[in-house]
Amino acid sequence: METATNLTADVLVIGFGKGGKTAAHALTDAGKRVILVEQSENMYGGTCPNVGCVPTKMLVHYSNAKRLEDDAQEFFANSVAGVRRLTSAFRAGNFASLDGKDTATVITGTARFVDANTVTVGEGDDRITVTAPTILINTGSEPIVPNIPGLAESSHLVSSTDLIQKDHLPRDLVIVGGGYLGLEFAAIYQHFGTQVTVLEAADRLLGREDADIAAVASGILVGDGIRIITGASVVGVRENGRTAAIDYEKDGRMHTVEAESVLSAIGRRPATAELNLGAAGVTTSPRGAIQVDEHLRTNQPHIFALGDVNGGPQFTYVALDDARIVLDQLLGDGIRTTADRVAVPHTLFITPPLATVGLTEADARAQGLHITVARENVADIIAMPRAYTVEETRGVMKFIIDADTDLILGAALLSIDSQELINTVALAIRYGVTATQLRTSIYTHPSSTEAFNEVLGKVIG
């Protein structure tokens, strides 16, 4: 049935991301023969543990620990070394835990479809052909470099992956784009000692958040020394010896800022270019995302797409839920869908982090909902001594509440520990816990959660 270059499996998984590896483990444990193809040995486990969530959040931790007397370059190099040790351990662990199973095989190389059930990996004598009746695509996403004259060709252009893998701390960094990725890197590198400038085309940062929340977040970033220029349209990048000259237009006037490094942070697109999806008859959107239904099936019923590659929210925990949906199709009752997702939280890991879930105040009012708003600055929350014990009292907490039912419709928490707090709020929304119940619950002390005892009673409108 198998030779050195022709393999068969019950399930072929393309991509070692969160969704793919979770599904591969479960399918193998269920007795299926699984082959997983990963393009790079540096990406076992996917984006999150290698070049995404884990290394960036570790750099957040290191950057906030830097003291004034620390040498910036030396401290940064040591921090990157620490990140490399952790990501290497995670990468090895991810590979061994799957490839070590009797019915699982990991192949390193680029998979290309030759028909709807078959891919090839590698070229020439090293080429392997894999055939399977069920295929899961989990190839993730890749950074977008905008069509700005001189940017793609610039020797000073860096990706987010470049930044976290280099042990040289740039003297100055220009970030094109003030979204989640751009602001996280801005905060990280400013704290390490780089002078950071963010060029954002919109009139303000965090356009999807309420203006008052965005204003507090912007104030914190500016207070940390980050230069933020909104309404800035980048028109070109020029080489200027040891720096790049970034030309941008603002208010009808041309300006230039120079930097040792330039990060493009305007977003990511699904990584599908190498898959040769046409050979499999799999359809994609104009942006390259694999089109799927609510069960994550493509137009080819035996092929599924999980994670960033299907054009959904680009979060590791959404990819994990994608795996649950697909596994329910392959091993379960087949009833779980993407429509089951309610109150999915998000966190922007600046310092302190901004975590949100549900509706904003602007959204709720636009929908004509009868709401009340509870809001309080962290520095004024008497019931939150933890903010003072860790010396981080910046930020604000805000809740949107249905005035008729007392149900929580949304929240924005810009505070210490907000990445944890938001999960409690999301559960409250999903399971109908009222604002009063959340406000009158018993929480440990001193903790950040006990802020709910006070903030939910601070109705401002």
pLDDT band at residue 2 under the 50/70/90 scheme: very low
Three-state DSSP state, 354: strand
Burial 162-193 (b: 16+ CB within 10 A, else e): ebbbeeebbebbbbbbbbbbbbbbbbbbbbbb
Catalytic residue from among 168, 255, 370, 445: 445
- Looking at the structure, tell me whether residues 333 and 291 fall in a common domain: yes
Residue 243 is labelled as binding a ligand: no
Q: Mean pLDDT, to the nearest integer, of 83-103?
A: 89
Q: Is residue 17 part of a domain?
A: yes
Residue 109 is labelled as binding a ligand: no
Q: Is residue 148 part of a domain?
A: no
Tens digits of per-residue pLDDT, 167-223? 999 999 999 999 999 999 999 999 999 999 999 999 999 999 999 999 999 999 999
Residue 225 is labelled as binding a ligand: no
Alpha helices in 6-71 (DSSP H): 18-29, 47-51, 53-65
Residue 183 is labelled as binding a ligand: yes
Residue 141 is labelled as binding a ligand: yes
pLDDT band at residue 228 under the 50/70/90 scheme: very high
Q: Decide: 91 and 45 in contact? Cβ < 8 Å.
A: yes
Is 445 among the catalytic positions?
yes
Element (H, E) at 164: helix 160-165
- Looking at the structure, tell me whether residues 48 and 77 fall in a common domain: yes
By C-alpha distance, which of 76, 77, 21 is closest to 48?
21
Residue 14 structure tokens: 């393309």
Tens digits of per-residue pLDDT, 54-65? 888 999 999 999
- Looking at the structure, tell me whether residues 186 and 133 fall in a common domain: no
Query: Domain total for the chain?
Result: 3
Strands 243-250 and 233-240: antiparallel
Q: Is residue 20 part of a domain?
A: yes
Q: Is residue 461 part of a domain?
A: no
Percentage with pLDDT > 70 across the chain: 99
What is the extent of the structural domain holding 451? 346-455
Residue 395 is labelled as binding a ligand: no
- Looking at the structure, tell me whether residues 353 and 314 fall in a common domain: no
DSSP letter (8 states) at residue 431: T
The span from the CA of 453 to the CA of 400, in Å, is 15
- Looking at the structure, tell me whether residues 313 and 332 fall in a common domain: yes
pTM score above 0.95: no
By C-alpha distance, which of 62, 121, 52 is closest to 90?
52
The span from the CA of 26 to the CA of 42, in Å, is 23
Q: Is residue 304 part of a domain?
A: yes
- Looking at the structure, tell me whether residues 10 and 102 fall in a common domain: yes
Residue 221 is labelled as binding a ligand: no
- Looking at the structure, tell me whether residues 16 and 136 fall in a common domain: yes
Three-state DSSP state, 404: coil
- Looking at the structure, tell me whether residues 377 and 435 fall in a common domain: yes
CATH number at residue 358: 3.30.390.30
- Looking at the structure, tell me whether residues 230 and 373 fall in a common domain: no
